Every structure is written in C-alpha cells, then in structure tokens.
C-alpha cells in the first residue's frame, strides 16, 4: 500500500500519531495553540519517517538478496 501526503492530511490526527509512534518517531509537541499548525508539523514528521523507513527497508532487502546469491 502506498501512502502519500494527501492520505496523511485526510486521515484522523489520532491515526497519524499512531503511525508515527509505530515508526519510532519523536512527535511534535501538542503545545501549539493552532491545531492546523500541529497537524501540518505532524504530517511532515511522519512523511519524513515513512521515507526514511522505506529507504532503510530497500537497503536491507538489497543486502539480503546479495547475501543469498
């Protein structure tokens, strides 16, 4: 399943926070008085975490394939 930034923007905030925690990310503080600013920062952090995780998985898969050849 592919996730893009539009999916994260439309998702419930609780679900985006849960996804960020499952990736082991440090989520932004909820001290923002502006909810939109918090959501914008949260989506940015989670999207960066997803990209980093995808790069790491790709590298690990490549290393595993090279090992078994």
Percent of the chain at pLDDT exceeding 90: 51
The ranges of the chain with pLDDT < 70 are: 1-2, 32, 59-69
Q: Residue 32: its pLDDT value, please?
A: 64
Contact between 12 and 42 (Cβ < 8 Å): no
Q: Residue 56: its pLDDT value, please?
A: 86
Domain limits at 56?
A: 5-68
Number of domains making up the chain: 1
Q: Residue 60: its pLDDT value, please?
A: 61
**Whole-prediction pTM value?**
0.77
Q: Residue 48: its pLDDT value, please?
A: 94
Give the side-chain half-sphere CA count within 13 A for 48. 10
Q: Residue 44: its pLDDT value, please?
A: 95
């Amino acid at each position: 399943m592919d996730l893009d930034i539009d999916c994260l923007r439309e998702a419930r905030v609780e679900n985006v926070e849960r996804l960020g925690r499952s990736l082991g990310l440090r989520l932004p503080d909820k001290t923002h008085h502006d909810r939109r600013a918090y959501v914008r920062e949260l989506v940015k952090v989670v999207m960066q975490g997803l990209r980093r995780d995808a790069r790491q998985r790709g590298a690990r898969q490549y290393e595993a394939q090279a090992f078994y050849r």
